[in-house]
Structure 1
């Protein structure tokens, strides 16, 4: 029966029209749930627990209309409250997102439909070491510095794959492109839209703001600590940083005690922290991969 259900579900989903407009996105996401429910009832699966996962849904919706994600989630929450619960159907819907804007949109649901935010972090250090060891064994690459990888990636497997396949293990090139340049570009965009006028002026403002915050929060000397930076200058909006303490969040992962993770904010990958720290210490945005590596290895 399992294969029969899988085939019917696949056929049902293939017949859906996936929209690229605000309304189309809402209808598509809602109809996926409706298709699942029809199959539950047709095969008398009321006693089963059904979990529907929209993986990386923010990357799809973000290309079109971020508000559509909230509208779709709201429509699904309505169905859960008014249709599924009264009919005693056990259905959970997971929106897997990594974009701050998307998570904030979803937080507007409050507790509607049983909405609960969860935080799933990168791999813990031991598990990440196992992944790196397996990669080393299968690829035969030599002299891989695990401690450096941990300090750059913090367990982020996606960026590990980027270093391997996109940069052929060239850490300095990866640092320049994926960390330094991305932070500078984020500052540049924010400087243009907010009146700072230049990246250097925006950085100078951040250094002063960070010093005050670090002092007030008892963090010591300002070195780019996430709780002192607080995602300003577009760092949250551009996913350089993430809010790890939204209201009501449940943490599914144990966050490591590392300088790139604070109480309320964290850097998405440690390389961003080291890039900003190098800029703060140098007092300028034009830093090099060598500058970051010196700080890490100090």
Structure 2
């Protein structure tokens, strides 16, 4: 069974714009927010035309934010390109969630039209969302992280297909803000894309009594790489976003450089 996104709470102590349509589940993404620190890890495999696999950095920098797409961010047959829309939406200043709302407003109608064209012109590809192992028909997901004066922001926007296979495409937008208390050591975890192997591994092993964000991200995504090598592949890229500094923990040369000035946290009164 393929799950596409899941928020896990613990209680206790630009990719290439020429990307073509791919299966919505060919990725593994883990985002963790602990206190005011955000860790985002992704695999590197991306399927392009005729399901040819290429390695790509899935963490994209746009202005002062970092974005990760899952699903189908581009459909050349309909001229749909979520990256281009995101570049415009996140180019300006303002709160991260305000810019995410602008992206939502700009993309939702275009995405729906693109999937309706896909439904009527490419039944083989469109049928991938209606196989028995697909639990949630996700057309597109966008994970966005950044730093504001009040601290870090982590949010996810998801578009699900809620119509039947033979019906005109209808989408439902779901937005999640991942909120934690500054200084808290209780992380919140968001899984996107492939996660069956992660679920199995978490049933067998305790990751939380000695929680380590980087170690866990590597182990979880590598579990998916081992289980689904045709869809998920290494190396694993991990970025850490904090109020005072953003750094790559590990990354390929294709990943964007970090050179934007950091927003200073608001002073306490």
Give TM class, smaller chain. Answer: under 0.3
The higher-RCO structure (CA 8 Å, 6+ apart) is: 2
Q: Which has the higher strand share?
A: 2
Task: Mark the structure with the bigger radius of gyration.
Answer: 1
Q: Which has the higher helix share?
A: 1
Q: Normalised by the size of structure 2, how large is the TM-score?
A: 0.27
